[in-house]
Amino acid sequence: MFNKIKIINCVFIDNNLLTLCCRTDLHFPLPDFVPGPRPVETTARHKNKRVVRISEHQVAGQKEAFFCNVTSSVVLADGRVVLCDDSNSKLKMMNPKLEFMFELDLDSNPLNLAQVSDKKLAVSIPGLRQVVFVDICPKEFQLSGSIKTRRDCWGVEVLDNVVIVTTGRDGHSVIMYDMEGTEVNSFLLTAHADENIRCPVAVTADRKKRHLYITCTGGAWSKGCVVKVDLQGTLLQVFNDPEIDTPRTCTLDKHGKLYICALESSTVYQISPSGELFRLFPSKTDQVVGPLHLNFVPNFHIRFILTEVASDTLKLFELPTGK
């Protein structure tokens, strides 16, 4: 037990004071993990959803030495799409027709994107242990600052001006910072015996319910999973299945359905709020190979972009109905 506790940061949510972090020394150790209720696993068996391929688009920019590895994206309100090309260390802007517009070279490989505002992005750069802020201008990107992270920063999300990062294999943690880079909260995933809940590589927020969905590729002899936690790290739900192998990112649609891109399974899974699990693509077909990232674009139907490992092509698909 600690003899003295110093509260260094707090926020107000719905007029209630919420203490985000208590620190006891200058080394900022991770706090103890308080386990939540027993996680609910998905149990419904697999069915296939009908998906229609609309088009394919080239995302290769200028003077690139490697195939593109588009690991993340942000869809802007005006329909433009920002892509994170990990293998070529670039951000790329696509117009609403998914045509290449301009790009920004970065000093190291970026891995994930989050939208701070209509004109600002946060970019995780694990090799530098930095989250870089980028301003979106009409004809270019501009670097506008950065914060240092205590561990590698793989996934990144921004919720209520709090920058949330996942650390991959470097500590198997989730760490939160304010916009100036002060650490305000953190929790460990290794508190759970399940080896699937390891190596958190991406994070996305349910902004209405204030939950986080964390994509884990897993530890030794495991296939990984997606976990839902609250902002204090309490484990609420585990999304896994023997067929889902090496999830890389997950996305929520407007109906609350969860989509998981499974790299080694070479397909995308849809999980309904009631727990039904569907494949969007039959496994081991040439329609999709090694999916990395899925994001929805504005449309009357459920239309989404999908990226694949080591591919210069961005594919556009549509679910004929939202149900």
- For residue range 237-290, list pLDDT tens digits in order: 999 999 999 999 999 998 899 999 999 999 999 999 988 999 998 766 667 899
Instruction: Please tell me the pTM assigned to this model.
Output: 0.85
**CA 85 to CA 103: how far, in whole Å?**
10
Question: Could you tell me the two tokens for 14?
Answer: 């719905």
**Closest-CA residue to 206 (of 273, 268, 289):** 273
What local confidence, expressed as pLDDT, does residue 63 receive?
79
pLDDT, average across residues 185-205: 96
- Is 185 exposed, middle or buried (CB count within 10 Å of its CB: 0-12, 13-18, 19+)? buried
Quick check: 61 pLDDT over 90? no
Distance CA 190, CA 169 (A): 11
Spatial separation of the C-alpha atoms in residues 102 and 42, rounded to whole Å = 42
Query: Which amino acid is residue 89, in one-letter code?
Result: S
DSSP output for 178-217: ETTS-EEEEEESTTSS-TTS--EEEEEEETTTTEEEEEE-
Reduced to 3 states (helix: H, G, I; strand: E, B; else coil), residue 127 is: helix
Secondary structure element (H or E) that encloses residue 161, with its range: none
The whole-angstrom separation of Cα 144 and Cα 37 is: 41
- CA 114, distance to chain mean position in Å, is 8
93 residue type, one letter: M
Among 79-88, 194-203, 275-284, 287-296, the minimum mean pLDDT is found in 275-284
Predicted confidence (pLDDT) per residue in 224-239, tens digit: 999 999 999 999 999 9
Q: What pLDDT is recorded for position 301?
A: 79
Is the pLDDT confidence value at 14 over 60?
no
Asked if residue 173 lies in contact with residue 167, where contact means CB atoms within 8 angstroms, the answer is yes
The pLDDT score that the predictor gives to residue 298 is 85
* Separation of first and last alpha carbons in the chain: 51
> CB–CB of 292/261 below 8 Å?
yes
CA pair distance 3, 250, nearest whole angstrom: 41
Q: Which residues contact 14 (CB under 8 A, 6 or more apart)?
A: none
CA distance 121 to 308: 22
Judged on CB neighbours under 10 Å (0-12, 13-18, 19+), 85 is buried
Q: What is the mean pLDDT of residues 207-229?
A: 96
Beta strand 235-239 pairing with 40-41: parallel
Domains and CATH numbers, the chain: 46-319 (2.120.10.30)
